[in-house]
């Protein structure tokens, strides 16, 4: 096994999260998480793909959305807020040159429930953005992150 780029043995750092990506064919790759889940990634047709799965950078954006949505729902539940749904709509801009990192990401939360208080929802989003969401912290190293939200009252 050859090591490069400053990588070291895992035992030096302790427990590592693991993943595996296997080339399937063309520009399709199967991602396998350490928890046993899989998903297909593929490239755009103009890059040799067949559009059979998410693009790798879409997966990164989805991961950030999932991470912060998880936090927000958990924080709202712990605050005993009567939340019934949470959707995070993300928009991102990427750099024009390689590496085409995200430069701006906007998170729009649509939180549904019964008698949700704006200050409680805002606090949950702020805590996720400023303290808990690891994916957002990493992406925030290259991208400007912005957040807003709307509350929808659950129809009785």
Domains within the chain, CATH numbers bracketed: 10-47 (2.20.25.10), 56-153 (3.30.300.20)
Q: What is the CA radius of gyration of the chain?
A: 19
SS3 76: helix
> What does the angle CA 113 – CA 126 – CA 128 come to, to the nearest 5 degrees?
85
- Given this model, what pLDDT does residue 15 score? 82
To which residue do tokens 């396998």 refer?
32
pLDDT in tens, the chain (156 residues): 555 565 555 555 668 899 999 999 999 999 999 999 999 999 999 999 999 999 999 999 999 999 999 999 999 999 999 999 999 999 999 999 999 999 999 999 999 999 999 999 999 999 999 999 999 999 999 999 999 999 999 987
Task: Report which secondary-structure segment, H or E, holds 23.
Answer: strand 19-25
How many angstroms separate the CA atoms of 49 and 57, rounded? 14
38 near 32, Cβ under 8 Å?
A: yes
């Amino acid at each position: 096994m050859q090591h490069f780029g400053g990588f070291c043995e895992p035992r030096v750092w302790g427990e590592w999260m693991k993943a595996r990506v296997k080339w399937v064919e063309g520009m399709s790759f199967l991602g396998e998480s350490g928890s046993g889940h899989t998903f297909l990634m593929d490239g755009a047709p103009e890059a040799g793909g067949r559009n059979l799965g998410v693009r790798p950078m879409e997966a990164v954006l989805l991961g950030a959305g999932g991470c912060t949505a998880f936090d927000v729902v958990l924080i709202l539940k712990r605050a005993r807020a009567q939340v019934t749904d949470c959707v995070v709509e993300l928009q991102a801009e990427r750099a024009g040159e390689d590496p085409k990192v995200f430069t701006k990401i906007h998170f729009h939360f649509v939180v549904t429930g019964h008698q949700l208080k704006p200050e409680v929802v805002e606090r949950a989003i702020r805590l996720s953005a400023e303290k808990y969401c690891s994916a957002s912290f990493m992406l925030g190293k290259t991208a400007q992150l912005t957040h807003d939200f709307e509350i929808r009252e659950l129809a009785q």
